[in-house]
Amino acid sequence: MLTQAKREFIEFMMGADVLRFGEFKTKSGRMSPYFVNTGNYRTGSQIAALGKFYAACIRENCGRDFTAMFGPAYKGIPLVTAAAAALSSQFGIDKPYFFNRKEAKDHGEGGNLVGYQPKDGDKVIIIEDVITAGTAVRETVPVLKAAADVQITDMFISVNRCEIGQEGQKTAVMEVKDEFGIEVHSIVTVRDIREYLADKPEYATVLKNMDHYMEQYCLF
């Protein structure tokens, strides 16, 4: 169901040129008629607003029931920072956050994690942008597990593309749940985006391309 909050988030992404329509090659190698590039957020007001959207989603699904928030490098870094700040300022939920470097630092404090240092038994949630084929999750989980014996319970993303994953039988989100036991929560889904565009005649061609793509690769 396309709620007002979802509508506002879609318009926010479009206004920031983050949700774009055209022809784009995704990380999975598919040619997609739409693309979500959180790297296009570039102002203080945008990242502040984005943090509030994520914070609302986290509060609704997890409340305070987690230890820390992790943002995978590179796009997850501003996302987890903004979400942590908004959780504190908007809802009084003050939780530590951390992120990784792509390469371990060999001087100073060393290591490849910045911010909170996870401990055995911690309940960690991941803050990311999107999941297409689940590739990024499979890269992230070993990073966290190598740091400590943590429990990774939930993952929060901007858009669930609802696309079939590596095995071809389930969506990437379903695979992440089955493989790692991680619940994935999205602020909006591709179905929400399609519903939003449906009553806008200027997006008729985009809608047709999305329907064709979703028929091929999406599972609901």
Instruction: Report pLDDT for 163.
Output: 87
Give 174-196 pLDDT, tens digit per residue. 989 999 999 999 999 999 999 99
Catalytic residue among 6, 52, 102, 105: 105
CA pair distance 9, 158, nearest whole angstrom = 9
Tell whether pTM > 0.85: yes
Return d(Cα 36, Cα 146) in angstroms, integer. Answer: 30
Q: What is the pLDDT of residue 80?
A: 97
Q: Please indicate whether residue 105 is annotated as part of the active site.
A: yes
Respond yes or no: is residue 185 known to be catalytic.
no
Q: Could you give the C-alpha distances from 35 to 38, 79, 87, 127, in angstroms and in order?
A: 10, 18, 27, 18
Options 25, 27, 75, 107, the catalytic residue: 107
Domain 4-102+114-217 adopts which CATH fold?
A: Rossmann fold (3.40.50)
The pLDDT of residue 81 is 97
Q: Which residues of the chain have pLDDT under 50?
A: none
Query: What is the structure's pLDDT at 104?
Result: 61
